[in-house]
A and B are shown apart, each in its own frame.
Chain A
Amino acid sequence: MKRVGVLALQGAVREHIHSIEACGAKAISVKWPKDLEELDALVLPGGESTTMRRLIDRSGLIEPLREFAKSGRPMFGTCAGLILLAREVAGHGAPHLGVMDVMVERNSFGRQIDSFEAELSITGLEAPFNAVFIRAPHIVGVGPETQVLCEHDGKIVMAKSGQFLGCSFHPELTYDHRITSYFLDMIPSRTGTLLPNGMLYSKV
């Protein structure tokens, strides 16, 4: 079974765990560096990015998260999570993790009264996706290897860059698990390899 971590410092943790489990994977809450061991992938949920960053620093997670990214394992950021992943945050000095080749702008649709729901057509999904945007960021620039998966009102709201997936909205707030499922499919399959993987092998 795929083991997927959810950064559990603040925000919509419960919803992501529910969505991962609904897709048949095992969800694991991550609060400390040791919780990153043996994960196949990691979700950075929605919440307040400034709060999460403070808590990441105080849990000593910033370097372990960058190491996790270097290991090549898939990472998915929604809203605040996307801000944490981005290579650059407009108007801010240093990025947070700075691992995904996109530049984002925070609160770029306005304040809470400007928050909205919309039907999106997303590359790779057949039917439209009902998306909830809450004080959402958007992607203002992408690197050459980044694939734009969705735009709304001329703004990029979802993209994939190698092992990284990011979106402005909150798929975790709806009961539609297609995006979680899309992310889980980014985890390299173990059954496709010729030799049994390490975990299975050690039990033989």
Chain B
Amino acid sequence: MSEYGTDRVKRGMAEMQKGGVIMDVVNAEQARIAEAAGATAVMALERVPSDIRRDGGVARMADPRITEEVMKAVSIPVMAKARIGHIVEARVLEAMGVDYIDESEVLTPADEEFHLLKNQYTVPFVCGCRNLGEAARRIGEGASMLRTKGEPGTGNIVEAVRHLRQVNAEVRKVVTMSEDELMTEARNLGASYEFLKEVKRLGRLPVVNFAAGGVATPADAALMMELGADGVFVGSGIFKSENPERFARAIVEATTHYQGYKLIAELSKDLGIAMKGIEISRIAAGERMQERGW
């Protein structure tokens, strides 16, 4: 008897990604570059976040043709994004056989109140979070992997750092709390009591948590690992840089050897120009992707 789509199988898939870099790609050629550079997975999409930000309008699931092309091009896992709450986009991606779905705030939400009930699917999901409450709610709905939201498409690491520190500080607080304090903390965070008990017992989140939203250089990737991320997502940072192949390789290596400072210095030499970043305060409040979802 084989059992499919169990928590162990879905969460386990994310465990295998640990210490790795997941790269956004928009076609087969980019996917091959990412795989050759050592990406542990690719995220197939129509436009990278910085282009979505620039173009405006409604951002949706990618054309299935693009996703299919990427799936054919590489042997590493392929992830794809569905809009928050868009049941059909998620089911379509599952039917196509993508390996992981990102219910992502980078796309325009389809539902401003309800996220997907992810435990109804065989395919595993990754979701964004800014704090332990969001993490708890997404896991409660069935997310098998988390990533901090950061601020996608900015090439500015500051929000990713803020969110990872926030999640980790709240985890540490729960771990040191006495059990009779957890119910009040659960109410304050908007998390379930059972979830907090599990975090306290494990001493960490029950699923893998990657960093995302603003990684643009090898040092940025290493910084997120230093702060306790299990791995990193790089969106626009690679294919919006001057030399994607070299950036991709350097970011992969810096993620593995995140405390190898001399090595990171070597890796960062003559890489060319990183993606042009955006200062967060210059983004209008309504255009911050991290505010999407709750």
Chain A interfacial positions (CB closer than 8 Å to B): 8-15, 31, 46-48, 50-51, 54-55, 58, 79-80, 106-107, 111-119, 132-135, 153, 170, 173-174
A contact residues around B5 at 8 Å (CB): 113
- B26-66 vs A, Cβ < 8 Å mask (1 yes, 0 no): 00000000011111110000000000000000000000000
Interface centre among A80, A107, A116 (most CB of B within 10 A): A116
A13, A47, A58, A119: the one within 8 Å of B40 (CB)? A47
Contact B8 A111 (CB under 8 A): no
Residue of B nearest to A111 (CB): B97
Contact B9 A107 (CB under 8 A): no
Q: A55-B38, A117-B9 are in contact. Are A106 and B75 (CB under 8 A)?
A: yes
Q: How far is the CB of B205 from chain A (nearest CB, A)?
A: 13
Contact A134 B38 (CB under 8 A): no
Contact A55 B40 (CB under 8 A): no
Contact A51 B38 (CB under 8 A): yes
A contact residues around B168 at 8 Å (CB): none
Q: How far is the CB of B191 from chain A (nearest CB, A)?
A: 24
Contact A48 B20 (CB under 8 A): yes
Contact A135 B13 (CB under 8 A): yes
A9, A50, A79: the one within 8 Å of B16 (CB)? A79
CA distance A8 to B75 in the complex (A): 22
Residue of A nearest to B39 (CB): A51
Contact A118 B3 (CB under 8 A): yes
A/B interface sample: 5 pairs, CB < 8 A: A11-B18, A46-B15, A111-B77, A116-B4, A134-B9
CA distance A141 to B77 in the complex (A): 25
CA distance A187 to B20 in the complex (A): 31
Q: How far is the CB of A120 from chain B (nearest CB, A)?
A: 11
CA distance A46 to B9 in the complex (A): 13
Q: A107-B75, A118-B2, A134-B13 are in contact. Are A11 and B252 (CB under 8 A)?
A: no
Residue of B nearest to A170 (CB): B12
Give the A-B contact count at a CB cut-off of 8 A: 117
CA distance A14 to B6 in the complex (A): 21
Residue of B nearest to A153 (CB): B2
CA distance A134 to B77 in the complex (A): 11
Contact B76 A50 (CB under 8 A): yes
Interface centre among B2, B3, B36, B76 (most CB of A within 10 A): B2
Let me know if B166 is at the binding interface, CB within 8 A. no
Contact B256 A31 (CB under 8 A): yes
Q: How far is the CB of B30 from chain A (nearest CB, A)?
A: 16
Let me know if B68 is at the binding interface, CB within 8 A. no
CA distance A58 to B40 in the complex (A): 16
Let me know if B17 is at the binding interface, CB within 8 A. yes
Contact B99 A10 (CB under 8 A): no
CA distance A46 to B39 in the complex (A): 15
Contact B75 A10 (CB under 8 A): no
B2, B13, B252: the one within 8 Å of A51 (CB)? B252
Interface centre among A47, A79, A118 (most CB of B within 10 A): A47
B contact residues around A135 at 8 Å (CB): 13, 16, 77, 99
Residue of A nearest to B255 (CB): A10
Contact B40 A10 (CB under 8 A): yes
A contact residues around B37 at 8 Å (CB): 54
CA distance A135 to B19 in the complex (A): 18
Contact B76 A118 (CB under 8 A): no
In the complex, given contacts A11-B15, A111-B77, what are 15 additional A-B residue pairs having Cβ atoms less than 8 angstroms apart? A9-B19, A10-B256, A12-B15, A47-B18, A48-B20, A50-B76, A51-B76, A54-B38, A58-B253, A107-B75, A112-B77, A118-B1, A134-B9, A134-B12, A173-B15
- B268-279 vs A, Cβ < 8 Å mask (1 yes, 0 no): 000000000000
CA distance A30 to B18 in the complex (A): 16
